[in-house]
Amino acid sequence: MVAECARTRARAGLLHTAHGVIETPVFMPVGTQATVKGLSSRDLAEDLGVRILLANTYHLYLRPGAETIRGLGGLHRFMDWPHAILTDSGGFQVFSLSGLRKIDEDGVTFQSHLNGDSHRFTPESTVDAQLAFGSDILMALDECPEYPVSHEMAREAMQRTVRWARQAAGHHARRVSELETRHALFPIVQGSTFADLRRECATELADLDADGYAIGGLSVGEPRPLSLEMVEASEAALPRSRPRYAMGVGMPAELGEYVARGVDMMDCVLPSRNARNGYLFTSVGRVVIKHARYKDDAGPLDPHCGCYTCQRYSRAYLRHLFLAGEILFAMLATRHNLRRYLDIMREIRLAIISGSFPEYLECARPAEDAG
């Protein structure tokens, strides 16, 4: 641990992986298909300073396939990425298939959204797939219930998640004992929006003495205050000495709120997805670039941002690219939005280290939209 906030649960630390040391708190860009849409590995690593990103087991398992990736030297070589990679278990995607999957005590059988072929995920098989990728951090298979859900159904999913986590941990321990490289495994806390289930799940998973812990099942439609409440319930029962990862969160103004509740790692598709849709995050609020007010605006997207997009191009030009449907817009906008998220995380870390995090958090409340 580098520093801790005396008035919140926030802390700054160092996460050691086989592909480098990562300063936390950290935001991880989402590279679902072994790519962050619109950006090259060079853009991410050299221009933006990204040191860890996320890839998706479900999608990569289906195409091009875990064994294909293994045969091509693993995910790092396949996508030309020199730093750390975290892969999720694919559970969230599978359980989102609704009518195309069937759950049993040993795993889940599902149909591919690509061609309808039948596949099966188990706690062991998802560990094997992620080891084939060469992931630095693996996620244990979990069951992510829909929102809203009854307490009874949430309990069943939570208990199954704990059983699967134990199976995954045992299989992971056997597999990595045969490997020279290090691959961490994080089990995932579930329990929907029920604090008692969250605490129970976290307590059970803490007994696994895992490398780190994820808090899943958030950002699935629940109100944001409830999401933060579930993080608090989960975090209180997790070992303070291990990293905590809140999956799939959040908006720029929310990042500090999760950190204040003891979260070290976050990921979200919002910066890249919203960028492609013309919704840009700046230090003075959001910019919806299609608005007519930017037609003749010669100023930068964000006057306080040092990214390539803001240093070189005007709002008027970005608006033109967006309305014309040019690919360059998605590239420039994604670069900026990710830079905004990464800058926020650097500001948060600096505030924790300097002892000014509570004041930073107060000042970081949502700004008025730029329009």
**Active site residue ranges:** 88, 267
End-to-end alpha-carbon separation of the chain, Å? 40
- Report d(CA 45, CA 54) in Å as an integer: 13
* Main-chain phi, psi angles of 283, to 5 degrees: -70, -10
Cis before 252 (ω within 30) = no
Token pair, residue 326, equals: 């040019």
Query: Please, where are the H alpha helices in the chain?
Result: 41-42, 57-62, 66-71, 74-78, 91-95, 123-133, 151-176, 195-206, 224-235, 252-260, 270-276, 308-312, 315-324, 327-354, 357-363
Token pair, residue 115, equals: 């061609």
Would you put residue 20 in left (φ > 0), alpha (ψ -120 to 50) or beta? left
- Report d(CA 90, CA 87) in Å as an integer: 8
Q: Cβ of 257: how many Cβ atoms within 10 Å?
A: 21
Q: Cβ of 312: how many Cβ atoms within 10 Å?
A: 10
366 DSSP 8-state letter: P
Cα dihedral 44, 189, 353, 267 in deg (nearest 10): 20
Cis before 271 (ω within 30) = no
Q: Which residues contact 336 (CB under 8 A, 6 or more apart)?
A: 275, 280, 281, 301, 302, 305, 307, 309, 310
